Chain A
Amino acid sequence: QVKLVQSGAEVKKPGASVKVSCKASGYPFIGYYLHWVRRAPGQGFQWMGWIYPKTGETDYAQEFQGWVTMSRDTSVSTAYMELSRLRSEDTGVYFCARASDIAYMDVWGPGTTVTVSS
C-alpha cells in the first residue's frame, strides 16, 4: 500500500525553526517527485516546492526561497522540510505529496500541524 506518514504536530516560538518529516512506503521512494504544500488557516493550498529523492534536486517557490530547505534520506525513504525564522503567519498544516506526473499529486500525507506562537 502506497503511503506517506508525517511527523507529529509542532508548536514553535517566532524565530525558531521546524523540521517536518515524511516517510514513504509501498513504492520506490527515489523514483517520484515529492512536493510540500501548506494550508494556512482560512486560506487555500500554497505550493512550497519539490524534491526529487533520486538526486536530491530541489525547486522552491520564490516566496519560500532562503528560508525553506527540503532534503531526503534515501536509506529510510524519508523526506524532510525545514522552515526557519518562523512567524505567526507560518501557522498551518503542512502536507507532503507524491507526484505521479512531476506536478500532479496522487498520494498525500495526512498533514502536520505547525503552530507558531509566543
Chain B
Amino acid sequence: EIVLTQSPVTLSVSPGERATLSCRASQSVSNFLAWYQQRPGQAPRLLISDSSNRASGIPARFSGSGSGTDFTLTIDSLEPEDFAVYYCQQRRYWPLTFGGGTKVEIK
C-alpha cells in the first residue's frame, strides 16, 4: 500500500504568517491527492482534491501543489481558525491511505 509521510509533524507559526506543509508518497500517485483539516473535537474537512483543487467554500488562502510523490499545502496568512491538524490522502491506489498528519500550532 502507498505510504504517505507528512512533515513536519508539528509546525509552529504566528498568526498572519504562511505555513507550508509537505506530504511525500512512497510511489507516484499522479495528482490524486487530497488535503483535510481537522480541528479538535471535529470531523475532518476536505480542503483540496486532486492536488490543487479547492473544495467548495474553502478560502483562497489554502492552496495545494505537487504531483508524483511530492505535494505541498500552503496556507497564506494564517487565521486563528487555521490552527489544526492537516492530513493528506491518496486515491490513486486501493486501499486509500492517509498521512500521519501535521499539527499547525500557534507560535
Contacts and interface: CB of A to CB of B under 8 A. Distances in A.
B96 interface: yes
29 contacts: A44-B87, A44-B98, A44-B101, A45-B44, A45-B87, A47-B95, A47-B97, A47-B98, A62-B95, A95-B43, A97-B43, A100-B46, A100-B49, A101-B49, A101-B50, A102-B91, A103-B91, A103-B96, A104-B34, A104-B46, A104-B50, A104-B91, A105-B34, A105-B36, A105-B46, A108-B43, A108-B44, A110-B43, A111-B43
The 9 closest A-B pairs by CB, nearest first: A103-B91, A108-B43, A45-B98, A47-B96, A61-B95, A104-B49, A106-B46, A104-B34, A44-B100
Contacts of A10: none
A111 B38 CA distance: 12
Nearest to A62: B95
Nearest to B42: A110
Interface residues of A, number: 21
Interface in B92-107: 94-101
A97 B55 CA distance: 15
Nearest to A108: B43
Nearest to A106: B46
Which residue, B36, B46, B101, has most C-beta atoms of chain A within 10 A?
A: B46
A73 interface: no
A47 B34 CA distance: 14
B48 to A, nearest CB: 9
B61 interface: no
Contacts of B96: 35, 47, 103
A36 B91 CA distance: 15
A109 B89 CA distance: 18
Interface string A37-50: 00000001111000
Nearest to B46: A106
B45 interface: yes
A82 interface: no
A102 B44 CA distance: 17
Contacts of A103: 91, 96
A100 B55 CA distance: 10
Interface string A88-118: 0000000101001111111011110000000
